Amino acid sequence: MMISKALTIAGSDSGGGAGIQADLKTFQELSVYGMSAITAVTAQNTLGVQGVYPLTLEAITQQLDSIGLDLKPNAVKTGMLFNSDIIRIVAKKIQQYSWSNLVVDPVMVAKGGSTLLQQEAVQSLINHLLPLALVTTPNIPEAEMITNRSITTIDDRKEAAKIIHAMGSKYVVLKGGHDTSTKAVVDLLYDGHEFIFMENQRVQTRHTHGTGCTYSAAVTAELAKGKTVPEATHIAKAFIQAAIEDELGIGAGHGPTNHFAYQSRLRGMNLEANRQ
């Protein structure tokens, strides 16, 4: 059996809703073999981030070498990278091992406000990582940081997507979760030529911890299986919508999304179809 393989290079979330844990759960649900290189350990739960412990460059390099010298990921994603030294070493290893299908989720700030990428590292992300990206998936505040512009209108979003594309990312998904002014949640996909709007009903919930990680992991899993970027982002949007809608209600704060939901629904539909 030939199984598709995906690698996540990101931070660990002890609460299990975001970071490495969200990525591996998503890979598994989408039938992709998951691998991980951990950049930082966070002490985190649904109430917030209690501690951030970046790993040494040696530990990060060794994990990437262990994977690069043996296992060949079909797609790779980056999440929390924390500082510019980590970004530089990650970019170097991605090039050294010729890893393609790179999804860059430019994680900067946790939902509760804790810093997951130091301010001075944004320029390193632009210089070293975006030129390697097949897809970059900023939310609105991240796109504002990368482009140094404020984003309020749809035209602002389009302009920001163009700027990020010009920085070297072949596709840009500017996610719309942070724009609460409309009933729909609209993600904007840009390929350098045209804009595709991907839209779903906004779910009224506080349980959105790890939505960005889960979404970009789903894109990565589908790319690993050979899907195109428009196909992968379409499936990822359905995956995250199901994960937010079927909430688990875990924890006293901003709970995790439901990584089981997408497959449970598909199984349900298959059962229905078999009954007819």
Ligand X SMILES: Nc1ncnc2c1ncn2[C@@H]1O[C@H](COP(=O)(O)OP(=O)(O)O)[C@@H](O)[C@H]1O
Partner touching 177 among ligand X, ligand MP5, none, CB below 5 to 8 Å by kind: ligand X
Q: Report yes or no: 91 and 126 within 8 Å, Cβ to Cβ.
A: no
Length of the chain: 276
Looking at 3-11, 20-28, 77-85, 199-207, which segment touches ligand X (CB under 6 A)?
199-207
Our finding on whether 136 is near ligand X (CB under 6 A) is no
Round to whole Å and give the CA distance between 261 and 212. Answer: 16
17 belongs to the binding site for ligand X (CB under 6 A): no
Question: Where along the sequence are the contacts to ligand MP5 (CB under 6 A)?
Answer: 10-11, 13, 18-19, 42, 44, 79-80, 107, 110-111, 116, 209-213
Three-state DSSP at 35 gives strand
Burial readout 9-19 (b: 16 or more C-beta within 10 A, e: otherwise): bbbbbebbbbb
Nearest-approach distance from CB 19 to ligand MP5, in angstroms: 3
The amino acid occupying position 95 is Q
Site for ligand X in 93-122 (CB under 6 A): none
- Binding residues for ligand X, total number by CB under 6 A: 18
Active site residues: 175, 208, 210-213
Q: Which does 232 bind (CB under 5 to 8 A by kind): ligand X, ligand MP5, none?
A: none
Any idea what DSSP says for residue 69? T
Q: Please answer whether residues 45 and 73 qualify as being in contact, where contact means their C-beta atoms are separated by less than 8 angstroms.
A: no
**Which of residues 48, 168, 177, 253 is near ligand X by CB under 6 A?**
177
